[in-house]
Structure formats: C-alpha cells, structure tokens
Structure 1
Amino acid sequence: MIVHFYLVRHGQTELNRRRRLQGITDSPLTKKGIAMAKKLGDDLHNVEFTAIYTSDLKRTQKTAQYILAQNNKKKPPIKTAPGLRELNFGNYEEMKNRKLVPTVLRKIGLRKIIAAFRQQQHVAAVTNLFKIMDTATQIENAQQLNQRMTRTLTEIAYEYKDRQGEINILIVAHAIVLSVFIEGLKGDVPMLL
C-alpha cells in the first residue's frame, strides 16, 4: 500500500481578505476563496480520492466541498480530524496585520524577528515567537504543532493499512500547520506505518 496525501490550504476567507491573523477563529470563504477551491478541484478532477479529511473548522470543510464538486470520480464523505486544526494565536487572534508587526517589535524586538526569518525552518521559528509573546494562552510551539500533524496523518494512514494499491487522501487544513509540517520533513518522506 502506498498512501498519497494531497495537502491543501483552505481558500481565502474574509479574515484573510481583511488582513487579520486567523487561527482557530472561523471565517467564511470569500468569492475568491471559493474560486480558488473550484480551480483546484478542476486541476484534481481525475484523481480518485479514497478519503477526504479536513480540520473541524468550516473554512476547510467548505473548501473540500468545492474541490469535490469538480471531481469526476467517486466522492467519499468528508471526515473531520481536529488534529488538522490551525494554530491558536491566543490573544493575537483576529488582530490586524498592521497592528501585529509593531506589537511583535515591542514585545520581542527586531533582532529575534530577523533571527527567526533567517533560520532554515523560518515558519517554525516565527511560530515559536507567538508562544514567547503570549504566555497567558496555551499556544503550541512548532515542535508540538509538527507532532500533532504527524500523529494525525499517521492515524489517518493507519485506517487504510489493509487496503491494496495506491491510496489518495485529500487533506484540507491551514497555512501554519501545513507549513510547519512540510518544513519539518527536511526533504524526507516519513514512513507513516
């Protein structure tokens, strides 16, 4: 058995459009976000998906529905996996990006920000800055986020361990959780089973 994960970020949302930080806050897809999902659905129209998993946030579920609507193959039900949920940005949820930058500068300083962006795994380093800035909220660090994502994908793959041949699984999740996971691969594709 070979499992192929198709990792997809949800389409643009109202909070994305308004340039606000969006983690666990749910926001509806914009017309552009819907068009993006339909376009990806067109690109994947001949892929037969064995399973579809999304986070428990509506924006990922809607994105998956629009992708599947374009698919010419058998359409499996969409399942939710809370382990695919985006990072909780704590007190910074829904903050306008233009307010976030000065707040980050004031709280942790320019040197730490530059150092984070210079690291090879810069998404993980930037993610860790939120944990440093907000000590009142239980914000995951990049390692915890990566472990959660790896555990979730392993559990999903394990559900299909008795199947023969190639398994195609569509995963619709979020920017940070996907980016931290992909960065953590370092070019290696882990054996999930």
Structure 2
Amino acid sequence: MAVVHFYLVRHGQTKLNRQVRLQGITDSPLTKKGIRMARRLGYELRKIKFRAVFTSDLKRTQDTAKYILEENLQRIPPIYRDPDLRELSFGRFEEAHNFEVIPQALRTLGIRKIIRAFLNEEHVGELIKIFRTMDGTEKIEDSAHLYSRFSRALKLIGNEYQDEECNILIVTHGLILSNFIESLCGDVPVFLLDNSRASLVDYQDGKFKIRYINQLEDLNEKTRN
C-alpha cells in the first residue's frame, strides 16, 4: 500500500489560550494572532497538494484549516469533521486558569510528584494522570484511551486513502496530538506542541513513522505532489 503523509497541526491561538486557561471541549474562538499563525503555516505549506483535510468537530480547528487552505496554491480539497479528533475534556477544570489549577495540584499531589511528572520522558501522559487524579471522577480520559481514539481516526483515514501516495491535513488539538506523538516515542516539548506548527507522520500498512515534529515546513524540502 502507498504511504499517506499526515500533516498534524494544532489549531491557532484562541482567546482561552491567550488567557492561560484550560481548553478542552470548550470552543473558544481564534485570536487575531491565532489567525496570523494559521495563515503563516498555510504559506509554508502552500505548495503541498492535500488530498483531503480532517478537523475535529470544534470550530477552532475548522477555522484554522480554513485559514491554512486560503494560502494553498493547489486545488482546495474536501474538508471533513471527525469527533475522534476532538480534544480531551478537562472535566470540572474546563476554562480554569492555570494559576487556579497549580495550587490544587500541589495540594492533591505534592511538589515532588509534580516535578517527577514533568521530568518523566512521558510527561504528557503524566500530565493527564494529574488531571484525572485531581478530578477524582474518572470522567477525564486516560492517555491510553486518548491515543486509541486518535490513532483509530488516523488509521481509518489512512486506510481509505492508501490507494496512492498522498498528503492529508489533520487539524486537531494540543493535548491529544502531543499524547499521540509521545506514544510514538516522539520528543514533545514540556508545554505541549505549539499552536499552528506541523508534525509530519507517515502511515503505511497500519504503522506510523514520525518524519518531523512541531516545526514549519522546510522550504528546501522537495515538494510532495
């Protein structure tokens, strides 16, 4: 089967991102900076011919995809929404300010456990554990379920388009995307993948392979058609 090149993108900055508040299933609009970020990435990817585009069912990903495609020089591909690409819900911590969450984490877990979590090679998974522990209801997905949901979506998409080598744009969210990359043994920044940066992951015969993480497209790289 042919290789499917997944361009995995976190949405542009939103109002809740700017306010340093947790944003899971809450749908906050893009800021002016977020729009500029999406357009910047779109310009970097302007020569890439995308066969299809998939976003989550939250508007911030759909808007980011729209601004990326407005810069593209190729034929505009079909755009689909997939709920499996939606961000993790933070439960009762939705929209909470970081300055409110940190004291809660310190009281619940203690400073040593938090430091160990961030020093862990799988710090994204540890971060999810922290929120599950603080929430105490198990309504927040664990990292394994989050990976399963996201990888299932990509495999379904990849299997559908494996008849020929192609590029697929995926616009999703910071935590679910960072968790996926970390699960593939990728190096994820401490504060997750950046807004409107691409990670390129190839898919073939049911397997994923990381090409690069959290960067703008290399303009010197041969354009994929």
Q: Do these two structures clear the TM 0.5 threshold for a shared fold by scoring above it?
A: yes
The answer to whether the 8 A contact 2:14-2:28 is kept is yes
Distance change in 2, residues 1:192/1:25 (3 Å): farther
Task: Specify the alignment match of 1:30 in structure 2.
Answer: 31
Q: Aligned pairs, how many?
A: 191
Gaps of 5+ in 2: 187-200, 207-225
Work out the percentage of aligned pairs sharing the same amino acid: 53
The answer to whether the 8 A contact 1:119-1:125 is kept is yes
Distance change in 2, residues 1:130/1:121 (3 Å): same
Alignment of 1:36-185 (within 5 A): 36-136=37-137, 138-161=139-162, 163-164=163-164, 166-185=165-184
Partner Cα distance (1:131, 1:76) in 2: 38
- 2:181 aligned partner, one-letter code: I
Gaps of 5+ in 1: none
Task: Specify the alignment match of 1:19 in structure 2.
Answer: 20
Partner Cα distance (2:150, 2:38) in 1: 22
- 1:182 aligned partner, one-letter code: I
- 1:147 aligned partner, one-letter code: S
The answer to whether the 8 A contact 2:3-2:202 is kept is no
Structure 1 residue 135 displacement after superposition: 2.1
> 1:71 aligns to what SS in structure 2?
coil
Partner Cα distance (1:49, 1:86) in 2: 23
> 1:50 aligns to what SS in structure 2?
strand
Distance change in 2, residues 1:191/1:77 (3 Å): closer
The answer to whether the 8 A contact 1:20-1:95 is kept is yes
Distance change in 2, residues 1:136/1:146 (3 Å): same
Structure 1 residue 52 displacement after superposition: 0.2
Partner Cα distance (2:99, 2:150) in 1: 29
Task: Compare the two structures and name the one with the higher strand fraction.
Answer: 2
Partner Cα distance (1:179, 1:126) in 2: 11
Partner Cα distance (1:81, 1:58) in 2: 12
Task: Specify the alignment match of 1:186 in structure 2.
Answer: 185
Structure 1 residue 108 displacement after superposition: 1.8
How big is the alpha-carbon RMSD for the aligned residues of Structure 1 and Structure 2? 1.5
Structure 1 residue 191 displacement after superposition: 4.4
- 1:178 aligned partner, one-letter code: L
Structure 1 residue 129 displacement after superposition: 1.1
- 1:33 aligned partner, one-letter code: G
The answer to whether the 8 A contact 1:51-1:170 is kept is yes
Greater shift in the superposed pair: 4-13 or 134-143 = 134-143
